[in-house]
Amino acid sequence: MKPMPVAATTRFLVAVVIGAVAAGCDAAEVGDQLVLECDLTVIVLQIGEETAELSGRLGELTVTDREYQMRFPAADDAHWEVRVVVDRHTARFKWEHGREPFGALFSDNVRRSGTCEVREEQF
């Protein structure tokens, strides 16, 4: 079997990167509603209102040029605080629930990551 030429490999890699950017989850307009499914969990973002909803829990939404950052406060002893960051261009997410400090190695917190998909139906 002959190895693939370098030029063909380069074109393939460029196509994959462009496809990943095109599959982002960017809402362009203030007032838009964006429904994301991240590992079977549905998150509804209200762009411009700085709110997000996760399983009936309201949270804070911060929109930057690169990310949607969400914080869902602890509701009671059964619902820990949840922090979710979604890259607007690649739709990759990082999820952590537990307690402070978030983003540090803390044995009580649960982390997961993956890719979100934009759902067509609106809530």
Q: Which amino acid is at 51?
A: T
Across residues 26-37, what is the average pLDDT? 77
End-to-end Cα distance, the chain? 53
Kindly report the number of other CB atoms within 10 A of residue 42's CB atom: 15
109: which 2 tokens?
Answer: 């917190």
Phi, psi of 75 (to 5 degrees): -90, -40
User: What's the confidence (pLDDT) of residue 11?
Assistant: 36
pLDDT, residue 63, reads 93
Three-state SS at 17: helix
Domains of the chain, by residue range, sit at: 6-118
Q: What is the pTM of this model?
A: 0.73
Phi/psi for 2 (5° steps) reads: -85, 145
Checking if the pLDDT of 22 tops 80, the result is: no
Residue 40: per-residue pLDDT:
85
What whole-number distance in Å separates Cα of residue 107 and Cα of residue 73?
Answer: 19
Residue 1 has pLDDT above 90, yes or no: no
Return the SS3 of 87. strand
d(CA 84, CA 86): 7
Compute the distance between CA of residue 27 and CA of residue 49 in angstroms, rounded to an integer: 13
pLDDT digits (tens, 9 = 90+) for 36-93: 999 889 999 998 889 999 988 999 999 999 999 999 998 877 788 999 999 999 999 9
Are 115 and 92 contacting, i.e. CB atoms less than 8 angstroms apart?
A: yes
